[in-house]
Amino acid sequence: MEYRKIKDEDKDEGAAGDDIESLRNKSISAPISNVATLGGESNDRSKWKRNLGKNLENEGVTEDNRLSTTLDEVSVYPIPAALYLVKNLLQYYIFAYVDAPGYQILKNLNIISTGVLYQMILKRKLSEIQWAAFILLCAGCTTAQLNPSSDHVLQTPYQGWIMAIVMALLSGFAGVYTEAIIKKRPSRNINVQNFWLYVFGMVFNAVAILIQDFDAVMNKGFFHGYSLITVLMILNHALSGIAVSMVMKYADNIVKVYATSVAMLLTAIVSVFLFGFHLSLAFFLGSTVVSVSVYLHSIGKLTRQR
């Protein structure tokens, strides 16, 4: 009995020793494990900080949105800038031969010239349905702008017709060429492309001012005759130019033509509420034809995609 009692005491002491040893192992291994985990976290954190620093250094300045560029890229922007300058100058000279309603009707030649040059320069073929839609669009816009004084358009001197045709060709070519250079590098920031285009536009217009109005600018100042309406018109043209460039960047000149035509109709409708403008039967007929043209163009585009 004494022997068994001694044996049981030895077992209890052995079990207690094993428990103490296991606790010692846990107390030793736990800090080691925690140290290893903390070491891994610190390495990940330092690596994350390095990557964040690199991203912050390059944020906002990439090859696609930096202003600095190559001569080959910049050399193409003076061409559309010069074309738009000549077209805008002709836009004022033509009023010596035709009144404002007649000018709006002759301006619809831009629709046909844009379609022809779009197919010739960009090599993008329009389907027969799209061409029919284009002709209907031109006819619809012309019909919507008819009024009792529109008979004078047929009596426009040949100088006015020549200017109208030249303006249509310049406008179409400038638009198609601008689309070509903007889409040549799709990832290029549109604001940078607009910057270089308008830099050359400012230079060319400054030269035109020096040639035509140098004495007036020197004697009366550059901003002589400016009013709130003048400033608003400048802002309107600037914002319109930016919007058109985005349409060319992410769509094409065909969409621009349709957007311009629809905007003309919407402007007439808004004028009813703002200025008491009376819509004629010709306007409703023209609007209907334009709506049919938009529908046919969408059908033709879907047919080509299939």
Tell me the pLDDT tens digit for each residue of 246-286: 999 999 999 999 998 988 888 888 888 988 888 889 999 99
DSSP assignments along 188-223, one per residue: S-HHHHHHHHHHHHHHHHHHHHHHHHHHHHHHH-TT
| Count of domains observed in the chain | 1
In a domain, 9, yes or no: no
In a domain, 6, yes or no: no
Closest CA to 189 of 249, 131, 112, 265: 249
Tell me the pLDDT tens digit for each residue of 89-134: 898 888 888 877 788 888 899 999 999 999 999 988 888 999 999 9
In a domain, 19, yes or no: no
Quote the domain boundaries for residue 266.
71-305
Phi/psi at 223 (5° precision): -95, 20
- Global pTM reads 0.74
In a domain, 55, yes or no: no
Phi/psi at 272 (5° precision): -60, -40
In a domain, 21, yes or no: no
In a domain, 62, yes or no: no
- How far apart CA 78 and CA 86 sit, in angstroms, is 12
In a domain, 45, yes or no: no
In a domain, 42, yes or no: no
